[in-house]
Every structure is written in structure tokens, then in C-alpha cells.
Amino acid sequence: MSQTVKIAIDGPAGSGKSTLARALAARLGYLYVDTGAIYRTVGLFAKRNGISPDDENALSQRFPDIDIKLGWGEKGQIVYLGGEDVSESIRTPEASMYASAVSALPAVRNFLLSLQRKTAENNNVIMDGRDIGTVILPDAQVKIFMHADPAVRAHRRYLELCEKGKNVTYEEVFSDMQTRDTNDSTRAVAPCVPADDAIIFDNGELGIDATVEKALQIIKEKLI
């Protein structure tokens, strides 16, 4: 089998990496893998089972019961937990905090590593997360690290949640984002930092169309 193309898009919460990755996958005909959704699903499992998201031992003992599968439909990636479609259930602010906590646990990251890499071995993928270029796909041909001011990112996430009918305030979203930024960038295992060979892409002043076109230019230059 010929080598697959791997594109890694990393960045902090609300940086637009998921929106960009979905759009790029559609334009290029690649498979989009939202790794954050996978960690959110582990967090949801912990929440539903009364397990503290920072209790690595308790969560590790339940790994055999955490059945995560990925599917793809008209609206993109679908995440299943024990056969249940939890794609919407994992998108609440509380689920975000659980995801941030469980993703800092080495055992959880090791547990999910093979699932993510196996997907990339068999498909041309665009994978977004916080450590794709540094840990999950260090051999990715293209690595982009998204960046934008925290206030801009919080506003984006607030509008996204409002569109989904979530009852949240901007202040709550901004506070959660600051906490997640600190947790994600300072954790001992796989922190959210750019890979040495990543292109730093600040899209704080760009709309989605301009962001996509700029990213396509970066990809084209890297793959030539």
C-alpha cells in the first residue's frame, strides 16, 4: 500500500482547528479525525460512571469497558460510546473540562494512541488536536499549529455553543478556556505546544474562507 498523507492541525481550544480541518478534508477528499472528540468521550464515560477525571488508577481499571468507535456520515465524524452516538453529548462546557483533565493522564493517552494511528495508517487524514504533530503523528508531512488571542477564541466558542442552544455566558466560556489553556500547555505529558517543524498560523484576524485558503497554500507548498 502506498504511503498515506497525514496532515496534523494542532492548537488550543477555540483556535478554529476543527472547523479548518473539516473544511480542508472536504476540499481535499481526506478523512477528518477529531481527536478531541475521542478524549471528550473518555471524559463522558468518567462522568457517567462517577469517576474523578484525574483519577488515573480508577479510570485505567475501566478501560476494558470503554468501547469507542468512530464513524463518518453526512455531517462528518460520529463518535460512539458503547454503541451510543454521543457526538452531541460530548460538546458541553462540562464535557470540555472533563476532556482536559483525562487528556492529561498518560494511561489515557496510551490507551487511545493506537486507535488514532491505525486510522491514519489506512487513510489520507487530516487530524486535529493538541499533540498530533508532536506525539500522535510525528511523521505527518504537514504540521500546522493554530493560534489566536484567547478573547477571540472564547468569542468563537461562545457563538458556537449559542448556535447549538447551550445556555452559557461569554464569561463562563472565557474562564473555561483560560483554565484549559493552562492545563493543556503545562501538563507533563504531551502538552499543547508546536512541533519543531510546524507552521505557526495565527488566524485571529481571518474568517473561515481566508483561513482555509491560507492553509491550502501551506499544504500545497509542503507536499510539492
Compute CA distances 97 → 53, 92, 146, 203, whole Å.
9, 9, 20, 24
Q: What is the pLDDT of residue 1?
A: 42
Q: Identify the H or E element spanning 92.
A: none
pLDDT digits (tens, 9 = 90+) for 104-130: 899 998 999 988 898 888 889 999 988
Please indicate, yes or no, whether the overall pTM of this predicted structure exceeds 0.85: no
Q: How far apart are CA 157 and CA 38, in angstroms?
A: 19
* 75-115 tens-digit pLDDT: 778 899 999 999 999 988 888 888 889 988 999 989 999 88
Continuous segment of H or E residues that includes residue 9 = strand 6-10
Q: Which three cell numbers stand for residue 184?
A: 493543556
At 206, is the pLDDT very low, low, confident or very high (cuts 50, 70, 90)?
confident
Q: Name the β-bridge partners of 72.
A: 77
The cell for 191 is 502538552
Q: Are strands 142-147 and 31-34 parallel, antiparallel or unpaired?
A: unpaired
Which CATH number among 3.40.50.300, 3.40.50.980, 3.40.50.2300, 3.10.20.30 corresponds to the domain 6-219? Answer: 3.40.50.300
